[in-house]
Structure 1
Amino acid sequence: MTAHSASRPSGDVAAVLGSKAQRQVAAARPVTFSDTVGLYADSAPGSELRDGAVLFLSPWGFEEMCTRKLWRDLADRLAACGIPSLRFDYPGTGDALDRTDFADGLAIWESTALAAAAELRRLSGATRLVLIGHGFGATLAATVAPRLEVVDAIVLMAPVVSGRFYLRELAAWSKMVDEGLGLRDDQRITDHVAVAGLIMPDEIAAEVKTLNIETLPALPASQVLMVERPARDKDVALSAHLAALGADVTRLPYLGYDDLVSNPTIAKQPLEVTGQVVEWVSEATARSESRKVQTPEVPVAARLEGPGFVETPLRFGADDRLFGILCQPRGQKRGATVVYLGTANDRLAGWARMTTETARYLAAKGVASLRFDAANVGDSPPVIGAPEQVLYTDHQIDDVMAAIDLLDGLALGVAMLAGRCSGAYLAFRSAVADERCKAAVAVNPFTFVWDKDDVVDDALRYNARSLEDYGRRMVSIDTLRRLRAGRVNIRYATANIAKQLANHFAGKMPAMLAPLSKYARLKEATYASFKRLTERHMPLTLIYSANDIGLDRFRFYLGRNGENLKRYANVSVEIIPDADHNISPPAAKAIVREQILAAALKAGEPGQ
């Protein structure tokens, strides 16, 4: 067994990784197989072909949302080194088709992993594979590798060693996520294994509970890279067990693990670990002979068909830089085509798969939609020259315009926009910028004009709340418990309350002093945007959870009871009681879906 300290990529690998910044990277090619969507990243042009390809096995649930961008970054870096790869969704997760029967349990996910391995070998022409798994995906990698018989090396990143301990950890994780959202106990999912609104099938959960890979009977691969979490004795024990089985085990500390998996909105990429993984895989595949075969042309992804819908994964935009999924009705199309804009850094499936489920619901009602990842979010690579933090910037409006260009090219009729939180802000700003947008539904928009003095990262990290919500929480016993446990950022909460009070008093400032106030200038800029939409007669639906932070900005701009809306006859407002910012309760989800459906049908009427 060998132990390596953290290090930078070697000179050769670093040079290859640096060279990709000179050209725009395209999104990975979508492929379909076994009722799921895969993303195939081929070797970069001019790179040295290796007789090895990488199959990614994703974690499950909240952790999968946090690591989606990590998979894309790793795939792009490996491609630059001449190593193709494939990543995919398990049945019932992400953008894969759903199943009504999970009686076969974990074998369903395992068989999809085996099918993905066969697909990767077909696409790449490689005879040997490297598996990279994270969390529960690492556990699957260790258990399916012996059945593939073509695996030379395996990377286990923060593997689930004990299934029983993992399920207990998920329960604690789920409670923390729900507390952060402000969900009551009666709104939480407690009768299944669940986290962040995602439910693990009971049959799979029952098998997961019995897993313990610390006693693996067979060696998964001759070369193993263990990326161990800090202070996890079971990770260390697994490394020792694999070495005892005869593996050449390299151990690395998982620096930045907690910052990666704590929240998909603010997930910080573990760049040092990423470089180390790429270097190790490059060395592992260099031991094989280069591929002698010609890589086959990757076909256009076939469609996935479900009850009432047909989905086509695709790439679009300049240099095929954006990845999205077009969801169309199996029957006659009606209404406008909905462009669903993502929230923060959530992948296109959305929080708790809400976007995927909404798209399929709309299709069953005859409405088509496009969901996609904006640049540097999920599976769409960054744009050269754009800032690392793309949220609340005009750069994302370019992505929306590219999406509407796609709909125009496919003759899918008029377009409307829908989104939540930062996606709602983007829907509003894009509707103002592009007259091809014929309607918009904005759910819990934080604001309508971004204050340049606000730091996006801070706004995302500290989960600001409305004044009413702060007041309600101050008298809550649960809040007292969280204060004692140190789980409340008092400094930021105090600063946020002060800022909202400043907004409140700025709104009451005498007209002659208003030009001296930044807040008054933001208000005038917001009015100008609303006026532009009104002049175009573009319907705008604003939807808010009853205690959402966005209501403070709404009231500042449009009055305590929305009295200023009388200037804008095209705007309607819906307040949803008993809902969190993420629209978790089923009743709240249903309201949002019906509002989007109604807006799409109306926007598609003749003369609209």
Structure 2
Amino acid sequence: MRPVVFDGRFGWLHPAEGPSGVVLCYPFGYDALCTYRGMRRLAERLAARGMPVLRFDYPGTGDAVGEASEPGRWRAWIDSIKHAVALLRETTGVECVTLCGLRLGGTLAALAAQELGGVDGLVLLAPVLSGKNYQRELRAHYRKWLLMPAAMDCEAEPDTDAFVEAYGFRLYGDALESLRAVDLRRDAVRPARRVLMLDSLDPARVDALAAHYREQGMQVERQSFDEYARFMMEALDSEIPQAAFRSIENWLAGAADNPATLERMAADSDAGSHADQKAELMADRVSDPTSGHLVEPGVIETPVWLDGGRMFGIYCTPESRTAAAPAVLMLNTGAVSRIGNARLGVRFARRLARQGIASLRVDLGGLGDSEPSQDAVSLDALYAQAGADDAACAARWLTAQGHRGAVLLGICAGAFVGLHAASREPAVIGAVLVNLQKFTWQNICDEHGKPSVPVAAFGSTRSYLRSMCQPRKWVRVVRGQTGGMPVARELVARFAARFGAALADRLERICGVQLGPREEQRLFTALHARGVHTRLLYGVLDEGVEELERYFGVRGGRLRRFGRIGVAFCERTDHAILSARAQENVMSYFEDFFRSTFDETRQSESSVSGGTRRAWLDWRHARTTQWLLKRARALRLSGEA
């Protein structure tokens, strides 16, 4: 596969030699994050069957140019699919094209196909049939997320008509208005010659749509999509819908293997207007991504391959970057691609570039678009030392570009990877580790990659103590609606573990006797010895605070002995940094840390002020010493007298 950029849209072309091609249309927002690995695997499988595939990011999403809040997004998304079809035809010479869309991507594909004309096939995977229902679904998802432990202490967004939010992604303004008016049965009239529909969410509506298409003389095949729920889980848990993908492959390959079908499609394609559209849409719009492309005034992004093509990243730089200045290395959050939850990686990279700071948002091995692609990712893989090795490799790549070093930014599992990479890689000079859950990791997954023990049965101690101050919680206990003993036992065990860790630390400091393994302390000792400026940043109620206080005392107080390591806490900061307030907290904290620690101008000013203070302290010390000597001499003389 190779990266492509057209009209500011970033995408991937999976080449093949067949006469039929496919454009994959992503779903919206969090759905796209969950299914990114699966959609890539589908593209690879289709290409292996001889069908070139193009997948891409809509304007204002993924690695594409722009923001979701800009006006005209709905129209731009439909047009981007039409541009993608023209690009696929231009670059591969395919005679016919099929659009394959998941959820909202299916809806957009159907609308774009109707406008294009001459589209051979349309694959609809659980398409959004009613825009009004979809907006209600997004709002319901958001309310459900607010009740989850990971969203504890999160600042809830207001219920407004200005936008609809789900998991940090938003639909705004005219996009909302256009979506409200969508009814796929009414709006997409004869979008393609053949349609494959896979859906188990709303059988009655889907059957009605299938019947509507058949009345228009279209070939329609209707199948269930029983794997949908497991496919749409969060990125780590998302399962590839093997049966659905086999159905898509066979359906597309059946048409490609039929010469009469190909001849008819080619004739219709020639009779259509796509040749004129191709000349209009493709002129001067496809750029060479390896040379870098402008994503906004003064900001350039370049797709790069690292470690011999094994890892992929986006190198984001200001047009006039300072030579030898440190660069920021953004690591994957869990199994999410380099884009980041709620598109944090993209937004922050461009925000840093506007301040003159370069960055690399990278996919570690096996994640996002790095190699090898995988059907599944396990917790053990996310916390494996191979991830730290990959992060170290990316840091060395940045130094090879002339940067003074890399400053890591990692969230959750990315924070674990960053901690271990920073503890041993000389190219890393700083790190901000957000909501770090574990300092060390023992493999917990079975042969199928599933956790064999509960990962997090309880929330943070602070959240439970806060709940104990709420009368309604005690009312529920008294009424027998909830049990208090399991929580009490867990809290007792936690306080006992903290007391044991504190006692062991005190004995080690007083007597030099080390009790039990202290791998956690060794990591921070290595960071301090190497001079890596490190900050641990937590949401005040995040479960990672439990691990921190177990090994390093209340609020990580025992880390103060390491002068270059600090701990900070942010209110209104959810675990995965999905909310707008949490994202601003993390970005602002990182910017302040970077400027105060690595900005050369500030450092020189700090060194001057530091030198002035040291001179003043030396003067005070000398005056005090003189005074004491005089007093001692006076006492001696008075004694002799």
TM-score range, shorter chain: 0.7 to 0.9
Give yes or no for the alignment of 1:580 onto 2:549: no
Counterpart of 1:119 (choices 76, 81, 87) is 87
1:420 is aligned to 2:389: no
Aligned pairs for 1:32-43 (under 5 A) are: 32-43=5-16
Using CA pairs under 8 Å that are at least 6 residues apart, name the structure with larger relative contact order, 1 or 2.
1
- 2-side partners of 1:398 and 1:116: how far apart? 36
Report the counterpart of residue 446 of structure 1 in structure 2: 437
**Between the two proteins, what is the percent identity of the paired residues?**
28
* Residue in structure 2 matching 1:370, options 344, 353, 360: 360
Q: Cα 1:135–1:364, aligned 2, differ >3 Å: closer, same or farther?
A: same
Displacement after TM superposition at 1:440 (Å): 0.8
Map 1:404-553 onto structure 2 (within 5 A).
404-453=395-444, 458=451, 465-473=459-467, 500=494, 503-504=497-498, 506-507=500-501, 521=516, 524-553=518-547
Once the two structures are TM-superposed, the CA of residue 593 in structure 1 deviates from its matched residue by 1.8
The aligned counterpart of 1:65 is 33
**1:352 maps onto 2:342 in alignment:** yes
- Do 2:126 and 2:201's aligned partners in 1 also have CA atoms closer than 8 Å? no
Query: Structure 2 counterpart of 1:245, which letter?
Result: Q
Question: Is the 1:309–1:329 Cα contact (8 Å) retained in structure 2?
Answer: yes
Question: In the aligned structure 1, how far is the partner of 2:297 from the partner of 2:136?
Answer: 35
Q: Report Cα offsets for 1:19-63 as digits up to 9, x if no partner.
A: xxxxxxxxx3211111221111122xxxxx211111011111221
State the match for 1:20 in structure 2.
none
Q: CA deviation digits over 1:316-370, x for unaligned, max 9?
A: 323x232211111123337311110011122211111111111111111111000
Q: CA 1:412–1:444 in 2, change beyond 3 Å: closer, same or farther?
A: same
In the alignment, structure 2 segments of 5+ residues that lack a partner are: 267-285, 509-513, 608-641
Contact in 2 for aligned 1:228/1:236 (Cα 8 Å): no
Cα deviation for residue 481 of structure 1 reads: 13
1:174 and 2:154 matched: no
Tell me the SS of whatever aligns to 1:193.
strand
Letter aligned with residue 182 of structure 1: A
Is the CA contact 1:329–1:367 (under 8 Å) kept in the aligned structure 2? yes
What residue is the counterpart of 1:382 in the other structure?
372
Q: Which whole-Å CA distance do the structure 1 matches of 2:484 and 2:382 have between them?
A: 25
1:486-541 C-alpha deviation (Å, 9 max, x unpaired): xx999998997687466435425668999xxxx9745x011111111111111111
Counterpart CA distance in 2 for 1:498 and 1:454 is 27
| 1:339 aligned onto 2:310 | no
Give, as a single letter, the amino acid of the residue that structure 2 aligns with 1:402. Answer: C
3-state DSSP class of the match of 2:442? coil
Deviation of residue 594 (structure 1)? 3.1
- Looking at structure 2, the residues matched to 599 and 424 of structure 1 have their Cα atoms a distance apart, in angstroms, of 16
Corresponding letter in the other structure for 1:449: T
Aligned mates of 2:486, 2:246 — CA distance in 1: 34
Partner of residue 304, structure 1:
294
Checking the alignment, whether the CA contact within 8 Å between 1:102 and 1:204 is kept in structure 2 is no
From the CA coordinates, give the structure whose radius of gyration is larger.
2
Match of 1:14 in 2: none
The structural deviation recorded for 1:479 is 8.3
Give the conservation status (yes or no) of the 8 Å contact 2:30–2:166. yes
CA displacement at 1:313 relative to structure 2: 2.3
> Cα distance, 1:230 vs. partner?
4.5
Question: Are the equivalent residues in 2 in contact too, given 1:416–1:603 (CA < 8 A)?
Answer: no
Counterparts of 1:386 and 1:245, CA distance in 2:
40
The corresponding residue for 1:211 is 182
Contact 1:548 1:580 in 2 (8 A): yes
CA distance in 1, matches of 2:398, 2:358: 10
Instruction: Measure how far apart 1:576 and its partner are.
Output: 0.7
Q: Does the CA-based 8 Å contact 1:36-1:304 persist in structure 2? A: no
- Residue 142 of structure 1 and its aligned partner are, at CA, apart by 0.9
- How far apart, in 2, do the equivalents of 1:52 and 1:312 lie? 30
**Structure-2 separation of matches of 1:186 and 1:592:** 14
Change in CA separation of 1:315 and 1:494 when aligned onto 2, cut-off 3 Å: farther
User: One-letter code of the match for 2:354?
Assistant: A
In 1: Cα distance, 2:83 partner to 2:60 partner? 16
In structure 2, do the counterparts of structure 1 residues 237 and 328 end up closer, same or farther at CA, with 3 Å as the change threshold? same
Verify: 1:187 aligned to 2:156, yes or no: yes
CA distance, structure 1, for counterparts of residue 303 and residue 32 of structure 2: 19
Residue 280 (structure 1) shift: 2.1
8 A contact 2:321–2:358 mirrored in 1:
no
Distance of 2:489 and 2:354 partners within structure 1 = 46
Q: 1:441, 1:511 → 2: CA distance?
A: 25
**1:324 & 1:208 partners in 2: Cα distance?**
33
State how many pairs are aligned. 563
CA distance in 2, matches of 1:60, 1:492: 40
Q: Which amino acid is the alignment partner of residue 42 of structure 1?
A: P
Q: Which residue is 2:75 aligned to? A: 107
Which position in structure 2 is the counterpart of 1:12?
Answer: none
CA drift at 1:159: 0.3
What residue in structure 2 maps to residue 87 of structure 1? 55
Alignment match, 1:3: none
User: Match of 1:360, as an amino acid?
Assistant: R
Asked whether the 8 Å contact 1:504–1:556 carries over to 2, the reply is: yes
Q: Deviations over 1:287-327 (max 9, x none)?
A: 356999xxxx9944441331442111233323x23221111
1:361 is aligned, of 343, 351, 361, to: 351
Shift of 1:397: 2.1
Q: Distance in 1 between matches of 2:411 and 2:419?
A: 11
Q: Partners of 2:95 and 2:412 in 1: how far apart? A: 45
Q: Do the aligned partners of 1:308 and 1:360 also contact (CA within 8 Å) in 2?
A: no
Structure 2 Cα separation of the partners of residues 151 and 482 of structure 1? 59
Aligned-partner residue type, residue 112 of structure 1: S
Aligned pair in 2 of structure 1 residues 496, 354: CA closer, same or farther (>3 Å)? farther
Report the alpha carbon displacement of residue 415 of structure 1 after superposing the two structures with TM.
1.3
Which of 171, 194, 199 aligns to 1:228? It is 199
| 1:475–1:281 distance in 2 versus 1, CA, 3 Å | farther
* Paired letter, 1:249: V
366, 369, 389: which one aligns with 1:398: 389
1:128-150 CA distance string (max 9 Å, x none): 11111000100111111133334
Classify the secondary structure of the residue corresponding to 2:4.
Answer: strand
> What residue is the counterpart of 2:104 in the other structure?
136
Structure 2: distance between partners of 1:124 and 1:495: 64
Distance 1:209 1:481, change over 3 A: farther
Partner of 2:313: 324
Post-superposition shift, 1:578? 2.5
On the 8 A contact 1:193/1:202 being kept in 2, the answer is no
Conserved in 1, the CA contact under 8 Å of 2:5 and 2:289? no
SS at match of 1:562: helix
Q: Using structure 2 for the length normalisation, give the TM-score.
A: 0.79
Q: Distance in 2 between matches of 1:490 and 1:102?
A: 49
Alignment of 1:248 onto 2:248: no
Unaligned runs of 5+ in 1: 1-27, 44-48
- Matching residue within 546, 549, 559 for 1:555: 549
Distance 2:471 2:115 in 1: 52
Matching residue within 195, 198, 202 for 2:169: 198
Secondary structure of residue in 2 paired with 1:305: strand
Q: What TM-score, normalized to structure 1? A: 0.83
